[in-house]
A and B are shown apart, each in its own frame.
Chain A
Amino acid sequence: MADVDKWVYSSVVKDHFMRPRGFLLGEPKEGEFDSYGEVGSLACGDIIKVWIKVDKETDKIKDFKWQTWGCATAIASASAFAEMVMKNDGMKIEEAMNIKPKDIADYLNGLPARKFHCSILADKAFKKAVENYRNKK
C-alpha cells in the first residue's frame, strides 16, 4: 500500500509552511532595516521581499525578515533561509551569500524537482538586498 499519510512535501517543508518563522508583519518601520531586496512577479505567481539589518563592525546579519506570496515551497524556503542566516546571532554576510538553493532544499529535507528552480527565491532576494546595502555605503 502506498503511504497515504505522506504529505506532498517533506515534514520539514510542512512545518516551515504551516508555522513560518522570521516574516515581517506589516510595513517596516523607519530605520528598522538597512536594506531591502525583492524578486519574482505577480505573473509568475511568486514574490518574495526581504529586509536586512547589518552590524557594521562585524558585517554580521543582525536581523533578517521576509514576506512571501506564493506556494508552499516558496514560503517554506523563505522561512528556512531566515532560520539559516539568523542561527548563532546572525551569519556573516559573506557566508550567507554562499548559501545555494541546494543548501536550502537540503535544510528542508528535499524539494520536488519541478519546484526547485521556481520557488527557491530567498537566496536571490537576499543577494539583491546585500547589493543594495553595498551600493548605499
Chain B
Amino acid sequence: MDHAAAAPMDKRVKKAMEPYWTENFGNPNALYKEGLIARSAVETAREDIAKVLGARAKEIIFTNGGTESDNLAIFGITGGMKQNFSRFTLPRSGAGSDATQNFASFRPHVITTKFEHHAVLNSCKRLEKEGFEVAYLDVGKEGVVNPEDVKRALRPETILVSIMYANNEIGTVQPIREIAKVIRDFRKQGAAKQNFSRFTLPRSGAGSDASQNFALPRLSAVFPYFHTDACQAPGYLDINVERLGVDLMTINGSKIYGPKGIGLLYAKNGIKLEPLLYGGEQERKLRPGTENVPAIVGLAEALKIAEQEREKESARLVKLRDYFINRLLGEIPKTVLNGHPTQRLPNNINVSILDAEGESIVLYLDEAGVACSTGSACASESLEPSHVILAIGKPRAYAHGAARFSLGRATTKKDIDYVMKVLPDIIKKLRMFSPVNIKI
C-alpha cells in the first residue's frame, strides 16, 4: 500500500537487465565488440523510451533518478542564465555601461508551486539564494493548479515554469496541457512584442554593441521553458511530450516497477542546458560518467510495460481506489480525503484521520502487516508536517493525521478489505487514549 514510494521491480524488467551485469559488461564508450554491445543496448533503450514519450532519441538524457533530473532541469536552465547574467553585469569599459544599467533591473524569475516534490522545491529555494526570484503558486483546496494563476504569474523575465504532473502525496493530476498552452501563448505574445522590448530599444551609440551580444532580447520569444516532474505519471497518465506540450520532463525508474538509481530528463531539442557534473562526454556532455547500462535497459523495459498496461491497469485501480475511499470515509468517523476526489492518480488514496496521529497509525498498521506512509511530522527526519497537506489549506493537525495508501499491480480488493478490517479498530484504539477532539 506504499507503491508511490517504491514499486517492486517487474520480473520482465529484471530479465531484460540480466545480460548486462556479467555477460555484456562492456563500457559503452569502448570501441571494441563488448563496448559496442553495451552502446547498442543504451541507444536501443533510448530509442524505445523516445518512442513512448513521442520524443526524439537525442532528447533523452539518462540520470541517476528523479531528483537529479529535476536538478538538471532547474539548474541546467538557470545556470546558463546566470552565466549570461554575470557576463552582462560585469563592469565594462565605456561602451557597455548603459547596458549594465539596464540589466541591473533584470532579475530572472521562476514559477513553481507550493506542493512540488522537495527535489524541485529545495532547488528553487537555492535559486532564491542565488538572486533569482521564485513564485510559489497556490494549489487550491483540491490540490490542482489553476492555469489562470500561471498566466497571472508569468512575467517578461520568467525563464522557467516547473509544475509537477501528479503530486506524489495526494496524487492530484495537474492540467499540464492547459498550462503548456498558457505558456505557449505568452511566448507568442513575447515574440510579437520582441522588437519593442526594453532590451532591444534602439540605444544611442554606446549601447549598441551590448544589445548585439545580449542573448536576452529574445528572452520572451523562447522563454519561459516548461518543466514537469512526471515521476508518478507513467502507467497512469499520458506521457507523450508533444501532446503535453512540455519542454522538459523528469521520469524515474523505481516508481514504475523498474530499477532504482536510474532516471531521465527529456529536454526538447534546441534547449541549452548547463550540466550539473563535469567529466567525460557521455549524454552529450550533460551527464558525464559511465552509463549505468543494466539500469538504462531496465528503465526502458519498465516504461514500455507501464505504457502497454496503462489503460487496463488504470481502469482496474480507479475502481479499487474509489471503493477504498468510500469505505474509509464511510466507516471511519472524522476522516477527510486530501486532494481532488477524481482528478487524482488511479492508485492514490490520502486521508486525514483526525484525533489520531500519522506515525502511530503507520506503526500500528505495520504491526498488522500493512505498509503505508504519512504526512505526519513525527515520521519525517525534519519533524515538519507535510508541506503538501498544508499547501491545500488544511491545518497542521490534519497533516499530522494524514495517511497515504498507494496501490500497485499486485493490490486486489481483498487487500483493501483487509485494511478495512484492521484500520477502524486501530483508530478506535488510538482515539481511546487521545485527548484531542478536532471539530470538522
Contact = CB atoms under 8 A, between A and B. Distances in A.
B90 interface: no
A87 B359 CA distance: 29
A12 interface: no
Given A43-B396, A45-B396, A70-B357, A17 B436 contact: no
Interface string B368-411: 00000000111101010100000000011100100000000000
Contacts of A2: none
B435 A68 contact: yes
B363 A8 contact: yes
Contact of B435 (A45, A69, A72): A69
Interface string A2-41: 0000001000000001101001110000000000001000
A68 B434 contact: yes
Given A18-B367, A45-B376, A47-B435, A71 B397 contact: no
B301 interface: no
Interface residues of B, number: 25
Interface in A53-86: 66-75
Contact of A114 (B381, B385, B433): B381
A68 B378 contact: no
Given A43-B397, A45-B400, A71 B436 contact: no
Contacts of B355: 69
B360 interface: yes
A114 B383 contact: yes
B440 interface: no
A127 interface: no
Contacts of B397: 42-43, 45
B359 A68 contact: no
Contact of B438 (A42, A70, A75, A118): A42
Nearest to A70: B357
A72 to B, nearest CB: 5
A52 to B, nearest CB: 15
B323 to A, nearest CB: 29
Contacts of A18: 364, 367
Interface string B337-372: 000000000000000000111011001100100000
A69 B363 CA distance: 14
A66 B432 CA distance: 11
A49 interface: yes
B391 to A, nearest CB: 16
Contacts of B376: 45, 71
Contacts of A49: 435
A127 to B, nearest CB: 17
Contact of B377 (A23, A45, A72): A45
Given A69-B435, A75-B433, A114-B383, A119 B378 contact: yes
A67 B434 contact: yes
Contacts of B381: 114
Nearest to A42: B397
Contact of B395 (A20, A42, A47, A68): A42
Contacts of A130: none
Contacts of A38: 435
A38 B379 CA distance: 23
Nearest to B395: A42
B364 to A, nearest CB: 8
A48 interface: yes
The 6 residue pairs across chains A and B that have the minimum distance between CB atoms: A71-B378, A67-B435, A23-B433, A42-B397, A71-B359, A45-B400
Interface of B: 355-357, 359-360, 363-364, 367, 376-379, 381, 383, 385, 395-397, 400, 432-436, 438
27 contacts: A17-B363, A20-B433, A23-B433, A24-B433, A42-B395, A42-B396, A42-B397, A42-B436, A42-B438, A45-B396, A45-B400, A46-B378, A66-B433, A67-B433, A67-B434, A67-B435, A68-B435, A69-B355, A69-B357, A69-B435, A71-B357, A71-B359, A72-B363, A75-B360, A114-B381, A115-B378, A118-B383
Interface of A: 8, 17-18, 20, 23-25, 38, 42-49, 66-75, 114-115, 118-119
Given A67-B433, A68-B433, A68-B434, 19 more contacts: A17-B363, A18-B364, A18-B367, A25-B432, A25-B433, A42-B397, A42-B436, A45-B376, A45-B397, A46-B378, A47-B435, A69-B356, A70-B357, A70-B378, A71-B360, A71-B376, A72-B359, A73-B378, A114-B383
